[in-house]
Structure 1
Amino acid sequence: MNHDGMNNPFDRPVWASLASAPHLAEGGPLARRYRRDVNLFASARDDEDGACLAALGALVQPGESVFVLQVPPIALPPGLQALRRAQGVQMLAVRPVAPEAGADEVLELGDADAAEMLALAQLTEPGPFLPRTHAMGRFLGIRVSGRLAAMAGERMRFAGGTEVSGVCVHPDFRGRGLARRLSSLVAHAAQQRGDQPFLHAWVTNRAAIALYESLGFEVRTEVQVAVLGR
């Protein structure tokens, strides 16, 4: 199987996304990582090429860690160790996702909302989220009495694919269907411009997987996730 990253971008979504957004990335043709205020994801172009793995290792400073997410087994760059390994699933929208309606106004979030977005993500832990993660794509939110109650947005993006991510709801506002509604809006907008919506969930998170299945997503494959540090 060809794992050079050019075969199927969904197998190496981090590499495909970094290669498509050089303004958000550091590194070069062999390995890239997101800028340190944007996200923690990093990827080699090809795990079977020692030069690519060495280049990935060189992007991680002492005391730092990066997230690797891909379908192929994760190879360790020289000098790095796996601080944590886990399995997730990658899901694709396999039918049109209907934009769900609701009483609350949906707002487009941006720089002015960045501090609140980061605080909500740190509280609910939807995955790596840093001060500039919102620069990766379009994020939507719902405010209740002025408070940011829920958000969802676009994270990894490449030609033909948009990842639905950063989906989180403040504990005070759970049970209202806000995550479902925002996820449906992000996925629907991606489909409207011709992209394939995809997302990732921990393999153990049955509630999230069931929610996305009800919206029209299906599990495509398992993905390997590792936190690598020096």
Structure 2
Amino acid sequence: MIALEKQLKNPVWHSLNETHKKFAVEINGVRFYNPEVCPFGSFEDVGKTVVASNEYVKGTDEFFYVSENQIPLVDDTKVALVKKIDGCQMVLNQLANVEITEKIFPLAKEMMDEIYDLVWMVMPGYYRKRTYEMGKYFGIFRDGKLVSVTGQRMQTDQFIEVSAVVTHPNYTRQGLAKQLIAHTTKEILKDGKTPILHTNKGNLAISLYEKLGFELTRDMNWWLYRKL
């Protein structure tokens, strides 16, 4: 078994080698998710990324390379760097005691469109409709409408990532995201795995994650490329 610490240094790569192997598209030694599921790619040898990128963009307009510290190489006649997102990884140390006052529902496949619409309204770019297939999703409703959601994204036999933490702007500052993160984290712990998450450096939500028991561990950068 590959050590957890090694997996966390390249979470996309190891997710696609284990739990999410069914979503893997491997090109020239570089691993990508099926672009209908998640627009992420990863590599161990940066020298392989030029050929892989040129092939992968035949099936998608945009994608991310996810890397702790390596800079991808690409053919700038085929793909262009849109932006680099300076991100960070957080790993649960010990989950804080959070009172759950809201009714939290597991979200069925029939909710895929509603989840997609809410995530894209609040945090566009990362989520695809089939991202739902990557793990369990949970939500809170108001008047029959989904207003807050969180779910599970990258995962291996040892960790599961908490992701898609979004709340409709009309329902923020009510503690909904806090309760959903705590609930989702507990579900991961029940599976005997380590909860992790990723976010942008400087994100105001980092203080919330720290209060819940997550600790900053390393950089995790997101390179967004667009097909030319």
Deviation by residue 1:44-76 (Cα, 9 ceiling, x = unmatched): 2x134x345523442122871111222122222
Structure 1 counterpart SS, 2:207: helix
Deviations 1:110-159 (A, max 9, x none): 21101110110111006511111111000000111100010101000012
Determine what percentage of the aligned residue pairs are the same residue.
28
Inter-partner Cα distance in structure 2 for 1:57 and 1:6: 31
- For residues 177-209 of structure 1, what are the alpha-carbon distances to aligned partners after superposition, in whole Å with 9 as ceiling and x for unaligned? 01010001111211222211110111021x210
Q: 1:91: which partner in 2?
A: 90
- Tell me how far 1:80 sits from its aligned partner: 3.5
Match of 1:214 in 2: 211
Provide closer, same or farther for how the CA distance between residues 6 and 74 of structure 1 changes in structure 2, counting only shifts above 3 A: farther
Looking at structure 2, the residues matched to 62 and 39 of structure 1 have their Cα atoms a distance apart, in angstroms, of 12
**Aligned residue in 2 for 1:132:** 130
What's the offset of the Cα at 1:97? Answer: 4.5
- Give the drift of 1:19: 1.8
- Map 1:1-230; keep pairs closer than 5 Å: 8-20=6-18, 21-27=20-26, 30-44=29-43, 46-48=44-46, 50-51=47-48, 53-61=50-58, 64-78=61-75, 79-98=78-97, 100-102=99-101, 104-125=102-123, 128-205=126-203, 207-230=204-227
8 Å CA contact 1:89, 1:202 repeated in 2: yes
Q: 1:41·1:66 contact (CA, 8 Å) conserved in 2?
A: yes
Looking at structure 2, the residues matched to 99 and 190 of structure 1 have their Cα atoms a distance apart, in angstroms, of 16
Hey, what's the Cα distance between the residues in 1 that align with 2:137 and 2:99? 16
CA separation of 1:63/1:27 partners in 2, compared to 1, >3 Å: closer, same or farther? closer
Asked whether the 8 Å contact 1:47–1:74 carries over to 2, the reply is no
> Secondary structure of the residue that 2:71 maps to in structure 1?
coil
TM-score by length of 1: 0.88
After TM superposition, the score normalised by the length of structure 2 is 0.89
Distance 1:31 1:173, change over 3 A: same
8 Å CA contact 1:99, 1:188 repeated in 2: no
Alignment: residue pair count: 222
Would you say the 8 A contact 1:69–1:223 is kept in 2?
yes
Aligned AA for 2:89?
Q
Change (3 A) 1:173 1:27: same
CA distance 1:25–1:148, shift in 2 (3 Å)? same
Q: Is the Cα contact below 8 Å between 2:49 and 2:73 reproduced in 1?
A: no
Quote the Cα distance in structure 2 between the aligned partners of 1:6 and 1:31.
21
Task: Give 1:107 shift.
Answer: 0.7
Computed over aligned residues only, the root mean square deviation of the Cα atoms, in angstroms, reads 2.2
Flag structure 1 segments of 5+ consecutive residues without an equivalent: none
- Letter in structure 2 aligned against 1:147: K
